[in-house]
Amino acid sequence: MRLLVIEDDPDLNRQLAAALTDAGYVVDRAFDGEEGHYLGETEPYDAVILDIGLPKMDGISVLEAWRRAGRSMPVLILTARDRWSDKVQGFDAGADDYVAKPFQLEEVLARMRALLRRSTGHAKSEFSCGPVRLDTRNGRVSVDGVAVKLTSHEYRLLSYLMHHTGRVVSRTELVEHLYDQDFDRDSNTIEVFVGRIRKKLGVDVIQTVRGLGYLLTPPNDAR
């Protein structure tokens, strides 16, 4: 999953990005409203963390502009604890959730997991496909109850497919949602990681749909 953090405080921006990266997300960062608005308008993020009080363009204006342009990614706004009006404005502008400053990073991570689940139509933090289980709370993957060790890149790819079980996901979509802007989009990295995941899982849940992409489906539904 690829996220965007827009926060003008350098330390908080860094802390959020580090925590999200450690949790298995790919994170792009912006430090003012204009830069954040541009990135959110031109890149396919799965979710955004957006501070309300930003230089150059405030967070509410950024969010309103995205929604007018049809950008529907989930947005978690950061507000001052004593500014209830910011929360109301944020929700009216199209925010999906908020966290009041100061906050614990674990709360942000939990709310982000919930936003991503809801955006893909899931209610629980544990995803399953046949014997494969993925728990987004602790980043663990298992097959028939036996833990499977994946690298961070492998986990991100499997997690994205698990969030979109039953839908064909193109290679282009995977690249756009799993890697930052500097990734070599002509490389065969996706194919390599899919091969590694298949080998480690030992069950045939990732199907290649020729010319279209990959489909995560239980073994008895393989097509």
75 has a pLDDT exceeding 80: yes
Domain count, the chain: 2
* Averaged pLDDT, 69-75: 93
* Averaged pLDDT, 193-217: 93
* Residues 133 and 25 grouped into a single domain: no
Question: What pLDDT is recorded for position 223?
Answer: 45
Question: What pLDDT is recorded for position 176?
Answer: 87
- pLDDT classification of 222: cutoffs 50, 70, 90: very low
* Residues 110 and 6 grouped into a single domain: yes
- pLDDT classification of 122: cutoffs 50, 70, 90: confident
Question: What pLDDT is recorded for position 189?
Answer: 83
Q: Which domain holds residue 139?
A: 126-221
* Residues 113 and 12 grouped into a single domain: yes
* Residues 154 and 115 grouped into a single domain: no
Q: For the segment 90-108, what is each residue's pLDDT rounded down to a tens digit?
A: 899 999 999 999 899 999 9
Total Cβ atoms within 10 A of residue 113: 17
* Averaged pLDDT, 116-136: 86
Distance CA 161, CA 217 (A): 10
Question: What pLDDT is recorded for position 124?
Answer: 77
The CATH number given to whatever domain includes residue 171 is 1.10.10.10
Distance CA 151, CA 147 (A): 13
The CATH number given to whatever domain includes residue 74 is 3.40.50.2300
* Residues 50 and 112 grouped into a single domain: yes
Domain boundary, last residue among 119, 150, 179: 119
Question: What pLDDT is recorded for position 178?
Answer: 84
* Residues 213 and 153 grouped into a single domain: yes
* Residues 136 and 112 grouped into a single domain: no
- Closest C-alpha to 150, from 135, 165, 164, 163: 135
115 has a pLDDT exceeding 80: yes
Paired tokens of 35: 């830069």
Average pLDDT score, the chain = 90
Sheet holding 126-129, edge to edge: 126-129, 132-135, 140-143, 146-148
Tracing tokens 């966290």 back to the chain, one arrives at: 99
* Residues 14 and 105 grouped into a single domain: yes
Domain boundary, last residue among 69, 94, 119: 119
- pLDDT classification of 69: cutoffs 50, 70, 90: very high
Domain boundary, last residue among 79, 100, 119: 119
* Residues 114 and 168 grouped into a single domain: no
* Residues 113 and 44 grouped into a single domain: yes
* Residues 35 and 73 grouped into a single domain: yes
Question: What pLDDT is recorded for position 181?
Answer: 62
* Residues 14 and 66 grouped into a single domain: yes
- pLDDT classification of 184: cutoffs 50, 70, 90: low
Question: What pLDDT is recorded for position 145?
Answer: 92
180 has a pLDDT exceeding 60: yes
